[in-house]
Amino acid sequence: MKKTQFFPRSLVFGILLFASLLLAGGFTWKEEWFLQPANFPAPVYNSKANPVTDAGFKLGKKLFYDPILSADYTISCGSCHIQAAAFSHHGHDLSHGIHDLLGTRNAPGLQNLAWYSRYMWDGGITNLDLQPIAPITNPVEMGDTLSAVIRKLNADPQYPGLFEKAFGTNRISTDLVMKALSQFMICLVSADSKYDKVMRKEGVVFTADETAGYQVYRQNCASCHPEPLFTNQQFRSTGLPVLEEGDEGRYLVSLDSSERFTFRVPSLRNLKFTFPYMHDGRFYTIDEVLDHYATGISHTTRPDPSFILPDGSPGIRFSPDQRKTLKAFLLTLNDTAFVKNPLYDEAGSQLYIK
Binding site for ligand HEC (CB under 6 A): 64, 69, 75, 77, 79-81, 95, 97, 103, 105, 107-108, 110, 113, 119-121, 131-132, 135-136, 141-142, 181, 185, 220-221, 223-225, 236, 238, 240, 263, 265-266, 268, 271, 274, 277-279, 286, 289, 293, 304, 306, 316
Cβ nearer to ligand HEC, comparing 90 with 105? 105
Cβ partners under 8 Å of residue 90, min gap 6: 82, 84, 273
CB of 4 to ligand HEC, least distance (A): 55
CB of 279 to ligand HEC, least distance (A): 4
Phi, psi of 259 (to 5 degrees): -100, 10
CB of 301 to ligand HEC, least distance (A): 8
CB of 102 to ligand HEC, least distance (A): 9
Cβ nearer to ligand HEC, comparing 83 with 131? 131
Cβ nearer to ligand HEC, comparing 236 with 341? 236
Q: What is the DSSP code string of 282-328?
A: -B-SHHHHHHIIIII--GGG---GGGB-TTS-B-----HHHHHHHHH
The C-alpha atoms of residue 346 and residue 244 are separated, in whole angstroms, by: 37
The C-alpha atoms of residue 236 and residue 80 are separated, in whole angstroms, by: 25
The C-alpha atoms of residue 238 and residue 248 are separated, in whole angstroms, by: 13
CB of 296 to ligand HEC, least distance (A): 12
Among 88, 338, 112, 80, residue whose Cα is nearest residue 231: 112
Peptide bond into 276 cis (omega under 30): yes
Cβ nearer to ligand HEC, comparing 79 with 83? 79
CB of 18 to ligand HEC, least distance (A): 39
Residue 8: left if φ>0, alpha if ψ -120 to 50, beta else—which one?
beta
Cβ nearer to ligand HEC, comparing 175 with 202? 175
Cβ nearer to ligand HEC, comparing 81 with 179? 81
